[in-house]
């Protein structure tokens, strides 16, 4: 079964507004990394919100088409239920960090699942180790740099162990060491069979992706192997996707 199925997805925020997503269709399989890119305002973040049910449940607007995550129709399951299937790291990490310490932040979701304390500790330790954030385990997330906050938000999402991960512009805000750490982590997660959707403007930072989905004004401009798209410099230049 495909982990993510998007079929003819169309969305607009206001009744008289433009279609921010226009008949998007694609699938993603377990153990696959799909990079999503495109000019600013093309609908990348909106697509992310559709993948975990924030659209249509928490944001208004008009949605048509289908989004299935591990067989669950996002229109028919609550966001809390979908959060067990899809972990989303937001573009602005401070919108999802609220605990007094990094450790509390990472433990929050497993605690809410009523996991035994031993399991919670295990998940927190695993996430902290995987992302190399032991040094600020006891720090207040609000006192961390933007890049560090992104790592904490990712750790908090990983603690739920969702089969699908969606990262909205996480990598480009990191330093070289952080990018390598996240890329290595995503490779490990891919080998574990997770499905990963990564949104980025910086195409080289997602060169490790299997496929790349390029959006243009809400529609799919190209969906192909990442390697093929990155090698097609003329095409990227005409789409103004490279500097």
Partner 1 sequence: MAFLELNQVTYTYRQCGRPAVAGIDLAFDRGGITAVIGPNGSGKTTLTKLMVGILRPDAGEIRLENRPLRSYSLAGIGRRIGYVFQNPNQQLFCNTAAEEIGFGLQCLGWEQEVIGERVAFYLDYFQLASYRDVFPLHLSRGERQRLAIAAVLANEPSFLVMDEPTAGLDAYRKRLLSDYLQKVVSLGRGVVFVSHDADFVRRVATRVIGLESGRIREDSGGDRGHAA
Residues in contact with partner 1 by the rule CB under 8 A: 13, 38-41, 45, 91-92, 94, 136, 139-140, 143-148, 151, 169, 172-178, 201-202, 240-243
What is the H or E stretch that residue 11 is in? strand 4-12
Retrieve residue 144's tokens.
Answer: 């961390």
Whichever of 85 and 200 has its CB closer to partner 1, that residue is 200
- Least Å from the CB of residue 236 to partner 1: 8
- Asked whether the beta carbons of 137 and 152 are under 8 A apart, the reply is no
Contacts of 59 (CB under 8 A, 6+ apart): 13, 49
Whichever of 144 and 158 has its CB closer to partner 1, that residue is 144
- Least Å from the CB of residue 58 to partner 1: 15
Helix (H, G, I), strand (E, B), or coil: what is residue 241? coil
Whichever of 60 and 193 has its CB closer to partner 1, that residue is 60
- Least Å from the CB of residue 200 to partner 1: 10
What is the H or E stretch that residue 93 is in? none
- Least Å from the CB of residue 81 to partner 1: 27
Q: Give the separation between CA 168 and CA 153, rounded to whole angstroms.
A: 11
Whichever of 68 and 166 has its CB closer to partner 1, that residue is 166
CA of residue 230 relative to chain centroid, distance: 21
């Amino acid at each position: 079964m495909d982990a993510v199925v998007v079929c003819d997805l169309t969305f607009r925020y206001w009744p008289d507004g433009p279609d921010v997503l226009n008949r998007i269709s694609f699938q993603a399989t377990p153990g696959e990394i799909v990079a999503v890119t495109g000019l600013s305002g093309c609908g990348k973040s909106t697509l992310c919100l559709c993948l975990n049910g924030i659209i249509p449940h928490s944001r208004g607007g008009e949605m048509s088409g289908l989004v299935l995550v591990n067989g669950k129709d996002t229109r028919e399951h609550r966001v809390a239920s979908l959060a067990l299937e899809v972990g989303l790291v937001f573009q602005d990490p401070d919108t999802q960090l609220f605990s007094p310490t990094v450790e509390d932040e990472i433990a929050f979701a497993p605690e809410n699942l009523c996991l035994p304390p031993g399991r919670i500790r295990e998940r927190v330790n695993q996430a902290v180790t995987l992302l190399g954030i032991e040094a600020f385990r006891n720090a207040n997330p609000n006192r961390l740099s933007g890049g560090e906050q992104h790592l904490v938000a990712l750790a908090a999402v990983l603690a739920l162990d969702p089969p699908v991960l969606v990262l909205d512009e996480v990598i480009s805000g990191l330093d070289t060491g952080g990018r390598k750490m996240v890329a290595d982590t995503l490779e490990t997660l891919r080998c574990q069979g997770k499905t990963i959707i990564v949104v980025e403007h910086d195409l080289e930072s997602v060169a490790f992706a299997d496929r790349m989905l390029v959006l243009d004004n809400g529609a799919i401009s190209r969906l192909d192997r990442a390697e093929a798209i990155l090698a097609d410099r003329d095409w990227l230049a005409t789409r103004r996707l490279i500097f």
